Amino acid sequence: MSIHIGAKPGEIAETVLMPGDPLRAKWAAETFLEKPKLVNEVRGMLGFTGTWRGNSVTIHGSGMGMPSLSIYANELIKDYGAQTLIRIGSTGAMQSHIKLRDVILAMTASTLSTPSKGLFKEINFAPCADWALLKNAAMVAENRDVATHVGGIYSSDVFYDERPDLNEQMTRHGILAVEMEAAELYTLAARYGRRALAVLTVSDHLLTGDALPSEDRQSSFGDMVEIALEAAFA
């Protein structure tokens, strides 16, 4: 048991999928895992452990934003020994060729600030995905014929962004999409020698204003979860 995770020793798998929404964690666990067991519900942040093709997997919510994810990722790594952490979540597209429901594999994650920024002082650390996970996920997506894009994303530290000039520069420099957690996850993985990847589903588009209705989001995220699971155990 840690401060924010009530799981007992041995109840967290070495492979952890991390959606932001705890209810999405519940949906993914009940949909894709065999015999999922609720192992955490401290502060309403749900975590479940079960098996996928005989492999032990935990699906645990991270909350919204890098400060929240940092708490759970730190405890999953340091207190429970998690080795592979894959963010599964929604993202907003920033390039015209990307469509709703496409999957994005985040090779790098640019950001203005993370909870880890103070460690680096004047250095602009470049957080990136684990190469083996990224390669596996790209191969899985290609075999499943899922529309997938691999490249850099932007991890914002605010949801209600009032910096259109910054978004313009992100788009200009080829950033595929924006979300709120991956940069800190990649930084923590680098610090502790773990594997990390963000597999994201496009739920809205910053250029066109298109967005999936809330009822369609869950049903559109199945490919993302399956890509993450297959990549972890390839």
In percent, the amount of the chain with pLDDT more than 70 equals 99
8: in domain: no
Confidence of residue 1 (pLDDT cuts 50, 70, 90): confident
**55: CB partners within 8 A, 6+ apart:** 13, 15, 232, 233
47: in domain: yes
pLDDT in tens, 85-95: 999 999 999 99
Alpha carbons 172 and 165: distance in angstroms, whole number: 10
pLDDT in tens, 25-46: 999 999 999 999 999 999 999 9
| 228 has pLDDT over 80 | yes
Q: Which residues are annotated as a binding site for a purine D-ribonucleoside?
A: 4, 179-181, 203-204
Which region among 46-55, 101-110, 125-134, 216-225 has the lowest average model confidence (pLDDT)? 216-225
180: in domain: yes
129: in domain: yes
pLDDT in tens, 144-185: 999 999 999 999 999 898 888 999 999 999 999 999 999 999
Which whole number is the average pLDDT over 42-54? 97
Quick one: CA torsion of 183, 115, 164, 149, rounded to 10 degrees? 10
| 219 has pLDDT over 80 | no
- CATH code of residue 95: 3.40.50.1580
Which whole number is the average pLDDT over 192-207? 97
Global model pTM greater than 0.85: yes
Q: Which residues are annotated as a binding site for phosphate?
A: 20, 24, 43, 87-90
Is 23 or 216 the better-scoring residue by pLDDT? 23
134: in domain: yes
Given the residues 130, 165, 204, 210, the one annotated as active site:
204
Residue 57 is part of which domain span? Answer: 15-233
Angle between helix 182-192 and helix 66-78 axes, rounded to 10 deg: 30
211: in domain: yes
Beta strands 195-205; 148-155: pairing state = unpaired
Q: Which residues are annotated as a binding site?
A: 4, 20, 24, 43, 87-90, 179-181, 203-204
pLDDT value, residue 161: 82
Alpha carbons 234 and 232: distance in angstroms, whole number: 6
Which whole number is the average pLDDT over 102-121? 94
Is 123 or 220 the better-scoring residue by pLDDT? 123
Confidence of residue 117 (pLDDT cuts 50, 70, 90): confident
Residue 145 annotated among the catalytic residues of the structure: no
Domains in the chain, number: 1
Look-up of token digits 């190469």: 131
44: in domain: yes
Cα Rg of the chain (Å, integer): 16
